[in-house]
Structure 1
Amino acid sequence: MNFQANFVLVLGLICGLGFAEQEGRISQEKCRHMQNVTEVALPTDTDATQSTVNGLQVNTICCVPEAQCTSRKPLQGKSVGWFYDTKQQACSMYRLGESCNLTTNHFLSCVQCEETCLGLEAEKAQERCGHYD
């Protein structure tokens, strides 16, 4: 493998395992770069960082892959999670299992995901999520 292939593999592992936040800002920037995302500043009323994904303003905690689950045996109580899907430009559902490596891109509801990732008001997030709560 050449250097670029090794670099892509290592970054994929870092992002996929949810280590981007623990490794600091550099790893998150590399992760965003791998997903073709550019960073922009938020309005002054908040200090969170957002990025542009296909023209949408997206909170950078949502720019990492969803949880990777090695077991499909459902968790007790809650069997689905939500993540921001940069390809769909919306929050999507995934099945939680006992052995999931959760990332910052994990939410308990569609509304929570839309509010956090896109900065939508609760009413607009509920409208986009429909009957999914």
Structure 2
Amino acid sequence: MKKEFRSGCPISSTLDVIGDKWSLLIIRDMLIKHKKTFKEISDSDESIAPSILSARLKLLESYKLISKIKIPKNKKENIYLLTEKGIRLTPIIIEFSLWGDTNMREFNKIKDVKGLNLDKSYIIQSVQDHYNSMLLNF
């Protein structure tokens, strides 16, 4: 996958990779909901089309935000796991959740998310620790 950026600005470069409609939702599902397979990720509430999901997974893998491995018991199926670089997106995911909860509730029937009233640093650390412990048990 060709890696072209619009400019050398770090915000622009980040948006070139994860600023589309789907990438952060895929990362959210992997990080918070512990989805690992193509089917699990495609079954999100937002109903991502398989072709778009496939393209986004390839993009995220090319930038080393996720890695793809074969399931040990089923060599035909892949498992997608966040890399350390992908896990480091946790603060962005949490900030988006907090901002959306505070500012979008009046426009959309936003589901209540447990724990959003806690300290941000605690939420971020808890999400990262929980994901990493899931990796250890894998």
Q: TM-score, normalised by structure 2?
A: 0.39
Give the structure with the higher percent helix. Answer: 2
Q: TM-score, normalised by structure 1?
A: 0.40
Give the structure with the higher percent strand. Answer: 1
